[in-house]
Every structure is written in structure tokens, then in C-alpha cells.
Copies of this chain bind each other. A is one copy, B any other.
Amino acid sequence: MDKPQNKSTQASLALKKISYGFYIVTTKAPAEELSSRDKDYYAAGTVSWVSQISFDPPLVMVAIQKDSDLNETIQRSQSFAINIVGKAELNMLKAFSKGSDVEGEKINGYSFEEKETGSPILNDVPAFIECELNDAVTPEGDHMVFIGKVVNAKVRNEDAEPLMEWETDYHYGG
């Protein structure tokens, strides 16, 4: 009688064998897009489910939990940035695992700049990708898939190696 549970457990274990890096996805909804707020609204979160999905034009997808501030804010801003976390930035994962808080020129304690989309670009990450929202897919599951067209990107430190899930105690899939 325990077959269904076994099957679900096997699925979870196999899904954990997919390889991911870590990314801090950020976005900014301008005040004029927000009915109840009088200033720009920022959202950010650590995610793993990121993949390129086209070379020409360069498109990426990020899967973001449906019931989240980050999800709602990307829908408002119609843009987002993927801050690629390097091996030296392990500490950032925790800082961006629960909501986002902007104080002065810092978000969750980390300094940032705004470039083409207004999404916070964290000064400490070795590379970032800014996207305009191209499409938002709502499958039946618990995450929404945002497809972004790359409009600005930069590698600040060519030698910096991305942080891999396997090197940490964190794992998002399963």
C-alpha cells in the first residue's frame, strides 16, 4: 500500500539530481504602478530555478513561487535582474532567503545600483543579467515561469566561479 509514497519519494530524489547555481532575482516596481504606495517598491529573493531558453534573441526563464512578493512585483515592474552568486558570496543566500528590505542604498544589507531596468544590481556579484519581461507562464504548479529578454548584462569578474548547489547545504529542488 505504500507504492504511491515511494513513487513520490523517488521523484523527489531524482529531481534533486538536477544541477543548479544560485541567483538573487531582484525587481523594482515604480511608485506610479502601485495604487497604495507612494514610493518605488523593491523585491528580491534567492532562487535556483533559472535557465537560458534561447540564443537568438537571448531569453532566460526564472521560476518564482506564485504566492510571493517577488512574483507579484515582477508582474508589476515587467522586468527583473538575475544577480549571479559566486563562490565568494555564499553569505548572500541567507540574506535574501526571506523577503527584502531597502535601507538607504542597500537591500538586505547589500549595496546596489540601478541600471537599465531599475532592478537592483548588487555590487558584490561577479555577473548580472537584466531582463524585460517577455512572457509569464502559469502552469498548474506552485511557481510561475517568467520569460525575460536580456537587455543588459555584464561580467564584472571573468575569473569568479559561480556557486553551485552541490557545494552548499542549500538545495531548492526535489
A interface, CB within 8 angstroms of B: 7, 10-15, 17-21, 23, 49-61, 63, 82, 84, 126-129, 134-135, 137, 139-143, 145, 147, 150, 152-155, 158, 161-162, 164-166, 173-174
Contacts and interface: CB of A to CB of B under 8 A. Distances in A.
A19 B162 contact: yes
Nearest to A53: B63
Given A11-B153, A19-B20, A53 B162 contact: no
For this chain, the copies found in one complex come to 2
A20 B59 CA distance: 16
A147 B63 CA distance: 12
A17 B58 CA distance: 14
Contacts of A10: 153-155
